[in-house]
Amino acid sequence: MSELLHVTVGKLLEQTAINEGEKEAVVYHDLGLRFTYKEFEKVCREAARGFISLGIEKGDHISIWATNKPEWLITQYSTGKMGAVLVTVNTNYRAAELEYLLHQSDSSTIILMEAFKDHSYMESLYEIVPELKKCEPGKLQSKKLPKLKNVIVLGEKRYPGTFSWDDVMAGKDSVSEEMLDVRMESMDPDDVINMQYTSGTTGFPKGVMLTHSNIVNNGYNIAACMELTSRDRLCIPVPFFHCFGCVLANMACVSVGATMVPLEEFNPEKVLRTVEAEKCTALHGVPTMFIAELNLPDFDSYNLSSLRTGIMAGSNCPIEVMKNVAHKMGASEITIAYGQTESSPVITQTRTNDPIELRVSSVGRALPNVEVKIVEPGTSHEVSRGVQGELCTRGYHVMKGYYHNPEATKEAIDGEGWLHTGDLAVMDENGYCRVTARLKDMIIRGGENIYPREIEEFLYQHPAVLDIQVIGVPDQKYGEEVMAWIIPKEGETITAETIREYCNGKISRHKIPRYIQFTDQYPMTASGKIQKYKLREQSLDLLSETRAVGRDVRV
């Protein structure tokens, strides 16, 4: 067992800046932006003082709704210095989802970019808090969101009622270095510093409270498993709002003094161009990202000889993809990681020297200082090696709990501190785990977690829908796709297109069902419970018969 780090996120960066001061900490290749660790430490301290100047206290919640912008990274470490809890917001969220998160999280501040793709973030925010247009910056009084006071916009344009990022940085002059030091000293590694939203079987997002200790140690142990050191340069195309970006990438790098090389958003050509230009030695991604990179027509023209390691996670990895990443891309020491937000997130990981067959057939073994056991579902009784059961884990990485939701916390973490993942798995004699199924119905599409109940609740509101069941079906590109089985109301005419049109602009695109099937009944148990596993079987038969890739499924 390695020793656990007892340090806050802010102090970790400070220590790394002392040890690796002149080494590059952050490189945005396309933006021409570079910070050494000494420079990055300085700008994060300035931003921390800027946040304090806005009256943000230790323990206040700051939501951030943006792609992998430099300000996101600076915010992650500056909040880690001044003690505000960083609440990460999915870039695909729409107005209703954002409103729920801001309200449930008690956020006092939101940092957001102006727009993403075809979605105006500012229009969505004004829709939720129209009072913003007529208030002074920092003095918002919203009927829907009474806790929200500060809105900080990342961009050149000025918006009524908001601060700019420059305003935040200018605020540092009113807060002394000593004041920040006092704030930093008042913080404890067991304080909550990060909140990420995830859903369970209820389908309503829950705020997972993660401490400094949770994410600092998880990042450090992840780095150890992939043998990441201060000599490495990690290309980061995965989103910061996921633990994949902010822990498996950012925290892992800072824990060992490696260089972070982020992309603002994923683009396969930019990934390979960045790896080549910056001589990256490591690359993260979900399988669909690696597939897109490998299938570029000019793939062979990129020099990827610097690549050695990295992490593939987020959904099951096809063996051929893994082999191509190892052999064609040269990342021969690529690792697989498994976990969930509630475990900071990684529970198990393969090691760089594991045979490739083991790296594909399993999700690795427990991280250092992490316990894993397989139990009979619904009990705490451990099963024998090789027998399927629910994967449970215990250790420093288990969340503090769900925000304002003690019932769900108690349901997830038992009296002995074991987190019940809801995933079915088998453990071999050497402690390597293979995830076989999910007790919960979560769909993982291209690394994005999708919760059927959330889509069902939304589509129940459609005037022509009597009942709806949402399931995941296998997909070659994304791992899984969303399929909806709908019972229309009697006398109502409804089509797949009208359902999709109803979803457009109201829920995230990746949640809109790819396949839509109409039926007059569901398979049921004698007690009246819907048998989703039978719906899945019917769906597979239907997809197999019609080969309806990219088209509506019709009987």
Residue with tokens 């597979």: 540
Q: 335: closest CA among 417, 201, 225, 496?
A: 225
Judged against a pLDDT cut of 80, whether residue 212 lies above it is answered with yes
- CA 497 to each of CA 207, 481, 513, 516, 540: distance values in angstroms, whole numbers, following the listed order: 34, 17, 11, 9, 22
Find the mean pLDDT for residues 128-137.
Answer: 97
272 φψ region: left (φ > 0), alpha (ψ -120 to 50), beta (else)? alpha
Give strand pairing partners of 434. 426
- Give 281 or 202, the one with higher predicted confidence: 281
Determine contact, residues 275/268, Cβ cutoff 8 Å. no
Residue 531 clears pLDDT 90, i.e. is over it: no
Strand ranges across the sheet with 370-375: 370-375, 389-395, 419-427, 433-438
Domains within the chain, CATH numbers bracketed:
9-325 (3.40.50.12780), 445-546 (3.30.300.30)
Residue 241 pLDDT exceeds 50: yes
| Helix, strand, coil abundance in the chain, percent, nearest 5 | 35, 25, 40
Q: Which two structure tokens, joined as six digits, stand for 171?
A: 């605020």
- Are the C-beta atoms of 92 and 48 separated by less than 8 Å? no
Distance CA 6, CA 17 (A): 17
Contact 435, 392 (CB under 8 A): no
**pLDDT per position as a tens digit, 167-188:** 999 999 999 999 999 999 999 9
Closest to 337 (Cα-Cα) out of 350, 353, 318: 350
How much is the average pLDDT of 509-520?
94
Is 354 in a helix, a strand, or coil?
coil
Is the pLDDT at 548 greater than 70? The verdict is no
What tokens appear for 92 in the block? Answer: 């695909």
Which pLDDT value is given to residue 547? 54
Tens digit of each residue's pLDDT (9 = 90 or more) over 384-413? 999 989 999 999 999 999 999 999 999 999
What one-character DSSP code corresponds to residue 381? P
d(CA 343, CA 350): 17
The yes-or-no verdict on residue 528 having pLDDT over 70 is no
8-state DSSP, 171: G
Q: Mean pLDDT over all residues of the chain?
A: 93
Structure tokens that stand for 136 in this block = 């002074």
- The whole-number pLDDT of residue 450 equals 85
Closest CA to 253 of 548, 510, 16, 536: 16
Burial class (CB in 10 A: 0-12, 13-18, 19+), 129: buried
User: What pLDDT sits at residue 30?
Assistant: 97
Instruction: Enter the tokens of residue 1.
Output: 């067992």
Q: Which residue has the higher pLDDT, 450 or 552?
A: 450
**Does residue 120 sit in helix, strand or coil?**
strand
Q: Which pLDDT score, from 0 to 100, does residue 199 have?
A: 56
